[in-house]
Structure 1
């Protein structure tokens, strides 16, 4: 059910137990917060976190246009009814949902990196 997928994306009550590595990178998610508090709010990375990576290590080259004050933040945007966009300093994650029946949804997820990162063949 695509509505359940959206609800899951917009809350993070489950994050502390299901995604503990995510709450290390984004500590405010440990309290169940995942929705934007206001337009432009970005969840700040943990104090010792250098990048939006599984272990918090440094990420890749910052996307041009990402300001210094946005460099250590995660932004989530919901374009209703069926698109999610995650913005972090070095990549964008783009989810699209296509309901095909009452109990079945196709979810496509693209991870977008700078062209030279893709061409490098790095394991991202």
Structure 2
């Protein structure tokens, strides 16, 4: 564990995972392709396969444009807070709930503020680490 400038102990650094990012986009493509094909077929479109092509194009564009921002996101868990992109800082004492959603972790504060740590390789491990740090800090 290393030290931050304010003498906090760094417990873990949380990086986005490329495999999780790619896996989620494959799932988005499958959902989009099936939904669009089904919708076009139900509407009587003679070319429902175009829904699959449209979904592939849309998800590829999203995958390409969001990748750099998503992969650059880094969160740091210390013994007093969780901080991350755009100068977000969450005191551990203010964390009410932490839960995983697919490859993401949602942190909810007592004030109702919500934060998403996205595309994680081990979301359950991250949840456990945050909750453990919070509970140690409150003891």
Give the TM-score, by structure 2 length: 0.21
Q: TM-score, normalised by structure 1?
A: 0.23
Q: Which has the higher helix share?
A: 2
Q: Which has the larger radius of gyration?
A: 2
Point out which structure has higher relative CO (alpha carbons under 8 A, 6+ apart). 2
